[in-house]
Amino acid sequence: MLRNIYQYRAFILSTLKVEFFSRYSRSKLGFLWSIINPFLQVLIYSIIFSAVMQAKIINTSNEYSYAVYLLSGIIAWNLFYEIIIKLLKIFYTYERLIKTFNFPKIILPIIVVTVAIINFMILLFLYTLHSYYWGIILMSIYTGYQF
């Protein structure tokens, strides 16, 4: 199996690139939709659970801690959901590729999982970077430090 993956590494990389960029070329918002979708889910869940149902995380006084908790769960759930759903439709999605080229079919799940993990890592990096900068800004406001 590893030999097949190594032999078809150029095929895997080219397919990964096509899959990753074609995913965002079909929507008007592009990659921005991948960022907006979890954020809107967290916003809706935070409003419903925090404001309406008064759900809070124990031993925290920060009002945004529940939203951060939800965001981490939603991003992880979206990774799991995307992998499962795409793997269920893998042969239908890549039907033309399977009929056109002769290659080991074990490569297809590797491509699907890798694209999902790359998307997850980008989202995780962006949200972590975003929360890091907001933490610096809020801490500087709290301490009175001027930039």
**pLDDT band (50, 70, 90) for residue 36:** confident
pLDDT tens across 124-147, in order? 777 776 665 555 554 444 454 444
pLDDT tens across 41-100, in order? 877 877 777 777 666 666 766 666 777 777 778 888 888 998 999 999 988 888 888 888
Whether the pLDDT of residue 15 is over 70: the answer is yes
Q: Which residue segment(s) compose the domain that 26 sits in?
A: 2-143
Q: What is the chain's length?
A: 147
What pLDDT does 57 receive?
Answer: 66
Domain count, the chain: 1
C-alpha distances in angstroms, 114 versus 36, 49, 58, 86, 134?
22, 33, 36, 12, 30
